[in-house]
């Protein structure tokens, strides 16, 4: 098992290199650079711009820049953000916490609810509950996340039950720990709901289909024929097999954990990674873009690895070699 | 029952494959309903110019964030044909709030003069050309329970506002009182010295009183000033009609045509008269017309994008599946790299690094290109897999044995067998493209003003203040939702219909 993980991680290295190089080249191939926004400013003289260009290292050859960044990155220095004038790693680190709070909550919520409701729908096939859940799932698969976000924002603005944006109240610092926690939950309620509903719907349909497939298998019929209690048939025999394809899905979910909430973060002014990366892209903040691109790719690799390991743990037929 | 079975057997024997697929598709009621919805939506895009009552780019700053225009069916208690009233959206000078009011343009006046005689004036009759009203406007504040007049100003107007100062005509005097905080503060600033006020809460209320002074009637080119009381009046109404001629659109992009499905009959070119069935946006543009025109972009981008994606996927997937070897390795590794960059990020990245200020047509092409570039990888891998298995089948061996060239075998015998998969895949993929475009435009990276796309229209509604004032700006989202839902249902139904097991 450990050897397998080590091998997978080693294979991932050239992949990550290629991705970072590709992202770098796309950014370099694009017309204009970070200084474009200053060129329109009449108070900026040509000399200042030249000096800034030199200072930021934008006058170097792209390949030189890339390898400089790469050699730094290996040692844990991911370069400086042009806009914030601060180390990229620190910037990202500050935002990671906010994003993880939101995305892990919604990940857990959507998986628990998705799997539970999907199982329910499959067991009560064609019942009223199943039909309602089907309509529900199709609706939330079709609704764009930003529209759902706007609808919830409208709800918040009309009723005043929830804050309309941000992560904490102004007086957060004066609160006790328990109050802070409640404050955070209160601010998170709507963005987390929007994210959860969106991804839960797909998971639910997937779980339902997967479990229905398994329930038609001979071994389930056999287990029932033996007179096994239905509970054991479903949860011990059917569920364990139905969950297999879902685990691959989990890998994808993990890879989207940092960047998946861009729209929701924008709408609810959540100070997370999505907004940071988006702004960096628009401003052509080179090193911030590559580093976050690299992080997304790392998460994708890790997500797939986690999914494979979990699969091996759940399914004894799968052997990792 | 037996007869029914016979009929089924008959159909299975004698219907063509296409007919069988159609029969299986019709069994899916949801799918059929969704198909109808899609056809309606695409017809809407096709006949956009005919359907929209207004030019989608036409602004009317008097109608900023106008709500959907109210349609009346009664006039003074009597049932009449549907009509609308002129309307105005303005920032109130006292409360500083955006206010929307319907306007009262008098059409006929019955005036009692001080000497007791009654005169009737009606526009267009006896040479009467226009009415003007001279109104005395008095602003007053309430301090310590006592009202003080602070400002007097005469005004000339040709209209009144319903639920605001229509009483000027009814009773001769109208009064509007407010306790809004903004009004308190503004009047406090202006008059604190005069009244020796210490805080804005000293001003308990603010009122505006308007009294009718005189009426100026323009008759045969001459003005006649009348002092008197209005006994009775009628106001202008603007009927709603089918098939109205108004702005010049291009029917099917080609023929200039002024005919539109519905609209308001604006007989005296009153610029306050608008008929917004879904309200207006910040610039007073008709939301419905914009939705209709936006559907051209939002709906076509999916189709074109998927078409290009499939073309790319067929070329790359087909070649690497059929020839294998080094080409296969190269193509598939490339596809894997594209797939390993999170999709939406790749999309934003590609868009963000390409120039932002391009003409709309170029942006459109750019978006199509980006969406297809991201989308082809997954599909081409599946195509490759299909080609790999089809390659081993006997009919391909036969084709090779006849001596057909590789290219012919691939295009005539192998690739056509992936059609079933491609049709279903395309239908289920279109929503992704529509959402992709909407997302990009929502972020301001896609279609730009004054062109409209559903995502771009939603971007206007990002502001909390705007959503609460103008929730109708969320309607484009409903259209995205319906379109995506419909494509999903049709795709599901098609998948079942194209499944050989369902053909019977």
* pLDDT tens per residue, range B433-461: 999 889 888 888 888 888 889 999 998 88
A40 CB near a chain B CB, below 8 Å? no
Q: Alpha carbon B264 to chain centroid distance?
A: 18
Whether residue B450 is preceded by a cis peptide bond, meaning omega within 30 degrees of 0, is: yes
pLDDT at residue A114, as a whole number: 92
Sign of CA dihedral A41, A43, A45, A51: negative
pLDDT at residue B483, as a whole number: 94
pLDDT at residue B1, as a whole number: 47
Q: Is the pLDDT of residue B20 over 50?
A: yes
B302 CB near a chain A CB, below 8 Å? no
Shortest Cα distance, chain B CAs vs residue A16, angstroms:
9
Chain B residues with CB-CB distance to A62 below 8 A: none
Per residue in A46-64, pLDDT (tens digit) is 777 777 777 777 777 778 8
State the average pLDDT for chain A: 83
Closest CA to B352 of A288, A89, A257, A49: A288
Shortest Cα distance, chain B CAs vs residue A256, angstroms:
7
- Token representation of residue B300: 């076509």
From residue A28, give the alpha-carbon distance in Å to each of A33, A66, B337.
Answer: 8, 10, 18
pLDDT at residue B22, as a whole number: 84
Q: Which of A144, A262, A283 to mutate to test the interface with B (most CBs of B within 10 A)?
A: A144
- Token representation of residue A138: 């199709």
Q: Which of B28, B31, B340, B433 to mutate to test the interface with A (most CBs of A within 10 A)?
A: B340
Sign of CA dihedral A259, B376, B492, A121: negative
pLDDT at residue B353, as a whole number: 67
Choose among A27, A164, A300: nearest Cβ to B353: A27
Chain B residues with CB-CB distance to A144 below 8 A: 435, 438-439, 477, 480-481, 484
Distance (Å, whole) CA A30 – CA B378 = 25
DSSP A103-134: HHHHHHHHHHHHHHHHHHHHHTTTSHHHHHHH
The label of the residue with tokens 């052509």 reads A284
Closest CA to B105 of B63, B160, B62, B156: B160
B462 CB near a chain A CB, below 8 Å? yes
Q: Which of B374, B464, B473, B482 to mutate to test the interface with A (most CBs of A within 10 A)?
A: B464
Chain A residues with CB-CB distance to B354 below 8 A: 30-31
Taking an 8 Å cut-off on Cβ atoms, the answer to whether A147 and B348 are in contact is no
Compute chain A's Rg from CA coordinates: 24
B278 CB near a chain A CB, below 8 Å? no
State the average pLDDT for chain B: 86
Sign of CA dihedral A181, A160, A144, B449: negative
Per residue in B166-178, pLDDT (tens digit) is 888 888 888 888 8
CB of B43 within 8 A of CB of B439? no
Question: ipTM value of the model?
Answer: 0.83
B361 CB near a chain A CB, below 8 Å? no
Average pLDDT over residues B71-90: 91
A253: nearest CA in chain B?
A: B342
Taking an 8 Å cut-off on Cβ atoms, the answer to whether B464 and A164 are in contact is yes
Distance (Å, whole) CA B249 – CA B256 = 6
Query: In residues, how long is chain B?
Result: 504
Q: Is the pLDDT of residue B239 over 60?
A: yes
Sorting pLDDT into bands at 50, 70 and 90, what band is B2? low
- Token representation of residue A207: 């779980």
Tell me the pTM. Answer: 0.87
Q: Is the pLDDT of residue B217 over 60?
A: yes
Residues of chain A with pLDDT under 50: none
pLDDT at residue B428, as a whole number: 84
Taking an 8 Å cut-off on Cβ atoms, the answer to whether A31 and B355 are in contact is yes
Sorting pLDDT into bands at 50, 70 and 90, what band is B5? low
- Token representation of residue A198: 């969106």
Distance (Å, whole) CA B497 – CA B20 = 8
Taking an 8 Å cut-off on Cβ atoms, the answer to whether A267 and B477 are in contact is no
CB of B153 within 8 A of CB of B237? no
Per residue in B460-483, pLDDT (tens digit) is 888 888 888 889 999 999 999 999
B471 CB near a chain A CB, below 8 Å? yes
Taking an 8 Å cut-off on Cβ atoms, the answer to whether B477 and A164 are in contact is no
Distance (Å, whole) CA B107 – CA B176 = 25
Taking an 8 Å cut-off on Cβ atoms, the answer to whether B337 and A142 are in contact is no
């Amino acid at each position: 098992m450990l050897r397998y993980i080590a091998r997978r991680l080693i294979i991932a290295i050239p992949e990550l290199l290629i991705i970072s190089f590709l992202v770098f080249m796309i950014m370099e191939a694009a017309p204009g650079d970070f200084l474009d926004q200053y060129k329109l400013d009449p108070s900026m003289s040509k000399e200042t711009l030249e000096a800034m260009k030199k200072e930021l290292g934008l006058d170097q050859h792209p390949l030189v820049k890339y390898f400089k960044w790469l050699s730094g990155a290996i040692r844990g220095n991911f370069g400086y953000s042009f806009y914030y004038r601060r180390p990229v790693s620190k910037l990202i680190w500050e935002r990671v916490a906010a994003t993880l709070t939101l995305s892990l909550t919604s990940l857990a919520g959507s998986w628990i609810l998705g799997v539970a409701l999907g199982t329910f729908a499959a067991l009560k096939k064609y019942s009223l509950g199943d039909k309602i859940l089907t309509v529900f799932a199709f609706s939330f698969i079709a609704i764009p996340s930003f529209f759902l976000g706007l609808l919830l924002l409208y709800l918040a603005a009309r009723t005043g039950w929830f804050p309309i944006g941000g992560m904490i109240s102004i007086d957060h610092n004066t609160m006790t720990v328990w109050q802070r926690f409640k404050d955070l939950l209160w601010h998170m309620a709507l963005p987390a709901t929007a994210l959860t509903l969106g991804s839960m719907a797909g998971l639910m349909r997937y779980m339902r289909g997967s479990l229905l497939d398994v329930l038609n298998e001979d071994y389930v019929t056999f287990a029932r024929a033996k007179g096994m209690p239905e509970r054991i048939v479903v949860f011990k025999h059917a569920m364990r097999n139905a969950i297999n394809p879902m685990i691959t899905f989990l890998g994808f979910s993990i890879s989207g954990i940092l960047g998946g909430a861009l729209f929701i973060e924008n709408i609810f002014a959540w100070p997370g990674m999505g907004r940071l990366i988006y702004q960096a892209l628009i401003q052509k903040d080179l090193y911030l873009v590559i580093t976050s691109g690299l992080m997304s790719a790392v998460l994708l690799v890790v997500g797939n690895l986690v999914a494979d390991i979990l699969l091996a743990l759940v399914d004894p037929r799968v052997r990792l070699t | 029952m037996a007869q029914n079975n016979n009929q089924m057997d008959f159909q299975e024997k004698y219907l063509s494959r296409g007919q069988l697929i159609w029969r299986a598709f019709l069994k899916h009621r949801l799918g059929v309903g969704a198909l109808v919805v899609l056809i309606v939506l695409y017809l809407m895009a096709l006949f956009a110019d005919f359907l929209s009552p207004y030019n989608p780019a036409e602004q009317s700053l008097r109608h900023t964030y106008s709500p959907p225009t109210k349609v009346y069916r009664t006039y003074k208690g009597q049932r009449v044909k549907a009509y609308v009233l002129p309307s105005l959206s303005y920032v109130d000078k006292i409360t500083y709030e955006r206010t929307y009011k319907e306007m009262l343009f008098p059409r006929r006046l019955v005036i009692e003069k001080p000497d007791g005689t009654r005169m009737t004036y009606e526009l267009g009759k006896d040479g009467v050309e226009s009415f003007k009203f001279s109104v005395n406007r008095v602003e007053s504040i309430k301090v310590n329970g006592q009202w003080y007049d602070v400002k007097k100003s005469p005004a000339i107007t040709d209209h009144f506002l319903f639920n605001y100062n229509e009483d000027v005509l009814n009773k001769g005097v109208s009064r509007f009182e407010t306790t809004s905080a903004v009004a308190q503060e503004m009047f406090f600033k202006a008059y604190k010295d005069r009244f020796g006020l210490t805080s804005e809460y000293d001003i308990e209320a603010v009122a505006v009183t308007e009294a009718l002074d005189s009426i100026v009637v323009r008759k045969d080119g001459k003005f006649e000033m009348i002092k008197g009381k209005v006994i009775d009046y009628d106001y202008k109404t603007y009927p709603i009609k089918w098939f109205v001629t108004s702005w010049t659109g291009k029917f099917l992009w080609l023929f200039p045509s002024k005919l539109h499905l519905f609209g308001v009959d604006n007989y005296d070119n009153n610029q306050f008269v608008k008929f917004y069935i879904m309200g207006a946006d910040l610039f007073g543009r008709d939301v419905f017309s914009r939705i209709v025109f936006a559907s051209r972009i939002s709906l076509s981008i999916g189709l074109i994008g998927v078409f290009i994606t499939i073309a790319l996927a067929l070329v790359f997937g087909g070649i690497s599946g059929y020839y294998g070897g080094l080409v296969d390795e190269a193509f598939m590794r490339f596809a894997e790299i594209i797939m390993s960059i999170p999709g939406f990020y790749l999309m934003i990245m590609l868009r963000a690094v390409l120039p932002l200020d391009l003409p709309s047509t170029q942006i459109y092409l750019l978006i199509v290109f980006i969406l297809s570039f991201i989308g082809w990888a997954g599909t081409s891998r599946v195509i490759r897999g299909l080609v790999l298995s089809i390659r081993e089948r006997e009919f391909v061996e036969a084709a090779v044995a006849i001596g057909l060239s590789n290219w012919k075998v691939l295009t005539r015998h192998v690739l056509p067998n992936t059609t079933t998969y491609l049709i279903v895949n395309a239908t289920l993929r279109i929503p992704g493209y529509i959402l992709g475009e909407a997302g990009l435009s929502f972020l301001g990276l896609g279609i730009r003003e004054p062109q409209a796309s559903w995502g771009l229209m939603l971007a206007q509604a990002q502001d909390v203040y705007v959503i609460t004032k103008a929730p109708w700006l969320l309607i484009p989202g409903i259209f995205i939702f319906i379109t995506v839902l419909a494509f999903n249902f049709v795709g599901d139904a098609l998948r079942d219909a194209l499944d050989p097991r369902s053909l019977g």
